Amino acid sequence: MEKVNLQQLVNETKKLASNESYYWFLRYIVDYLRPPTIVEIGTHRGHSAMCMLSAIKTDGHLYTIDVADDFKCEHSQLTKIISFDLDVDLSKIPEIDLLFIDSTHKAAHVRKVLNKYIPRVKQYGIVLMDDIKLNDMYPVWMELTYPKMELNYLHQSGFGVFVKDKPWRSFGIAQDKDRPVK
Residue 179 CA neighbour count, 13 Å, CB half:
5
Residue 2 has pLDDT above 80, yes or no: no
Pairing of strands 159-164, 148-150: antiparallel
| pLDDT tens, position by position, 81-122 | 999 999 999 999 999 999 999 998 899 999 999 999 999 999
3-state secondary structure of 47: helix
Residue 180 has pLDDT above 60, yes or no: no
3-state secondary structure of 176: coil
CA-nearest of 42, 37, 38 to 26 is 38
Under CATH, which architecture does the 6-164 domain have?
3-Layer(aba) Sandwich (3.40)
pLDDT interval class at 176 (50, 70, 90): very low
- 41/83 Cα distance (integer angstroms): 10
| pLDDT tens, position by position, 21-70 | 788 889 989 998 999 999 999 998 888 999 999 999 999 999 999 999 88
Residue 8 has pLDDT above 80, yes or no: no
The residue that leads in pLDDT, 27 or 12, is 27
Burial readout 144-154 (b: 16 or more C-beta within 10 A, e: otherwise) = beeebebbebb
pLDDT interval class at 19 (50, 70, 90): very low
Per-residue pLDDT at 56: 94
Give the amino acid at 59.
D
Per-residue pLDDT at 64: 96
Residue 9 has pLDDT above 80, yes or no: no
Per-residue pLDDT at 177: 43
Over residues 146-161, mean pLDDT: 89
